[in-house]
Structure 1
Amino acid sequence: MKGLFWILGLFALAVAVALGARLNEGYVLLVMPPWRVEISLNFALLLALAAFLLAYAALRGLRLAFGLPAAVRDYQQRRQRDRAAAVFQDAVRLLFEGRFGQALKKATEAHAAGTAPGLSALIAARAAQRLREPQKQQGWVARAKLDDPKTEAATLMLEAEMMVEARQFDVALDVLARLQEKHGRHIAALRLELRARQGLGDWDGVLKLVRQLAKRDALPPEVVAEVQTQAHLGALARRKGDRAQLQAYLKSMPEAECSRRVALAAARALFAQGAEEAVQALIERQLAPESAWEWQSDLVDLYGRLTQGGQTARIAKAEAWLKMHPKDGLLLLALGRMCVRQKLWGKAQSYLEASLAIRPSRAAHLELARLFDQLERPDDANRHYRASIDQDERPD
C-alpha cells in the first residue's frame, strides 16, 4: 500500500512539473561583454540541476579516492579479526574433541591475535593441563588473570577444578575461598568445594555442603544419600577410639541420615567401646516396625552378642521380631546365643538348629557344639565342631 502511494505521488509531481514548464514563459539573460546569451528559464533550471549533480559526483569520487587507503586498512583488519575468530572457534572445538595439542596451538594463535585474550588463555591452560604440562598450565592461568578482568571468576573456577583433579585439595579450597569472597557462592563452586573436602577427608564440611546442595536441589537424592553415608562413615571411623565423642556425634546426627550402613558402623563402634546400652538402643530404634529403614540382619547378629543388661527383655524383643521375620537365620542365631546365656537349653538348641536349617553357618555350628559340651553330649558336640571346620564361610 505504501508503494502505491509513492507511485501516485511521483506521477502527480511529473504532471505538475510538465504543466509548470509549459505555462512558464520566463527567460534568463546572461551578459559577458562582448557576448550576450538569452535562454529560457526552464532550460536554465535544467542546466543548474545538471551542474549540481556533476559537482556532487565529482566530490563523491574525490572522497572515495582519498578514503581508499583507510578502507583497505579496515578491510584487512576485518579479515584478520575474522581469521582470528575462526582460530578461536577451532581452539574451542578441538578442546571439546579431546585434541589437546592442536587446541593449545590454536588457543596460542588466538591469544596472540588478541581475540578474547582471557578466554583464549583459559582454553590454553585447560589444554596444557590435559597434556600434563604443569609449567605451561600455570603460565596460561597467570596470563588469564592479567589479560581480562572479566574472566577472573572463570579463571578461579578453572584453577580450582584443575587443583582438585591434581588432588591438591587444600590449594583448591584456597582458590575457592578467593572466588567466593569476590564473586559470592554459587552451585558449581559448592559442588567443586564438596569434591575438595571429600578428598581432604573433611567429613564435617562435606555434610554441611551436601545439606546446602540438597536444599537447592543441586544433587540427585540418591547422590545426596550416598555422600551423606560416606561422610558419616568417615566421621565415625575418626571418632571410634573416643567413646564420648562417638556418642556425642551420634546424638547430633539427624535420624533421617542414619542409613543402614551408618547404623551398622555406629553399632559396631559403640560395641567395641563397650557401650552396650547405647548399642541396644540404636539397634532397637533402627529395627522398630515404624522405622523408615528396611530390616537389617547384621544388626540383629550384633544384638545377639550383647552380654550386659537384661537378657530376658532382649529375648522378648527378638522373639517379637521373629514373628515378622521367621526365615531370618541371623535372628535365630542371635536368639540361640541369648538363650544359651540364660541357660534356656531347649530353646537355645531349637533356635540354633532352625538357624542352621535356614542358613548354615560356622557360627551356628560352634554355638551348638558349645551348648552340647555344657549338656555333656560329647558326640553331638564333636559332630558340630567338625561341621564348623568344614563350613565354607568366613570365621565368626
Structure 2
Amino acid sequence: MPRKQSKSSARPLKAIEPTSDAEVTIGVASVTLLVMVLGALSASPVWLLGLLVFLPAAASALCTVRQTKLVSAWTALVVIVTMLVRHGDGRPWLDRILMMLLTLALGAASVYACHRRIRREHEVLRLRSTAAAMQRQILRPLPMITDDVLVDGVYEPVQEDRLVGGDIYDVVVSPWGTRILIGDVQGKGLPAVGAAFAVIGTFRATAHREPTLTALADALDASVVQHNAYAAQTGEDERFVTALIVNIDADEEVQVINCGHIPPQLLRDATVTTPALASGVPLGLAALAAEPATVDWFAFPPGATLLLTTDGLTETRAADGTFYPLAERLTKRVHLSPTDLPRALYDDARAYAGGEDQHDDVAVLSVRRSPYR
C-alpha cells in the first residue's frame, strides 16, 4: 500500500456556527428599541405585534434552542406588559388577550421549529460525516507516495454536497510496480457511483494478484459486466467506464492500457507531449471489441510527470462553447510542482468557463517519477 497519505481530498465537515449571545442581545435590543419608537410615534400597539413577532421566528432559524426560548420570553414579556399598561387607548380587553395569547403561541411555535431545525442539521451532519468516511475508504486521500512515484491531484464532484461522483482513481503497490487507475463512469448520480464502486473494489483486489495489465483490464471489464447484470435486474441502466490503467516500476518506461479514456500528458524537460496510445473500448464493452486490450509503452524517466485527467476538465466550455485547451494551458504551467499543478489547472478551467458551475465530475492526477529511481 502507499506509504503516506498526508492530506485528504474530502472537504472538511463542520457544524454550523451558532449565533453568539452578544449578537442575539444586540439584535433583540435593536428591534425592541425600534418597536418602542414606532409605537410611541403611532400611538398604537399594532407595531408591537407586527414587528416583535418576527423576533422568535428569526431566532428559530438562526439561534440555539436556549436563545430562541429567551427571545420568545422577552417578546412575550414586552407585548404583555405593553398591553396591560396601555389600558387607556380604547382597545377592548378581548383584543388585548388575543394579542397576548397569539404572541405566546408564536413563541412556542418558534421554539418547536428551532428544535426541529437543529435536529435536522445534526442528522445532515451525521450523514455527511458518514459519506466523508466512505469517501476516504473509496477514494483514498491525496497525495499518495510509493517507492516509484508521488501521486497528487484534485477530485471535485459535480454536486458540492455529493462527496463521491462518477470519476474514480486509485493507487496500488503491487509486486510488479505501482499501478494507477483513473476512470470515468458513464452518466451521473447514484447508479454511476455504484459502477464506480465495482471498478475500484476489483482494482484493489486484483492489482496485487494479476501479473499483467491485460489480465487486470479483463478483470475490471468483468466487474462492470457483472454490475450491469445486477443493474438490469433492478431496472437500472447499464453503464460503461472509460479508464487508464498505468503500471510504473523501476524501469524508465511506463506501461499503459487505454480503455477509451483521455490520453495522458507527459511533462518532461519543460515540454508537454501526448504519448501515442491505442485506444481500446471502455470497460464493460470488451465483448464488442474486435481485438483484446493491448499494452503501450513509452519513456517515463526520473523527474518526469504524467498528468491523468477525466473529461470533466477537457470538456469545460467557455462562453462561446469552445472546449478547454488542456495542452495549451498545460504548456504555460510546466514550471509548477506536481503538487500545485492539478489545482492550478482546475482553477484555470473554472475561470475559463466564466465562473459557471461545473457540469461534470473532475479528477486530475499528477504522477511524478521519483528522481532517485
TM-score of the aligned structures, taking structure 2 as reference length: 0.30
Higher RCO, Cα 8 Å, sep 6+: 2
Q: Which has the higher strand share?
A: 2
* TM-score scaled by length of structure 1: 0.29
Name the structure where helix makes up a greater proportion of residues. Answer: 1
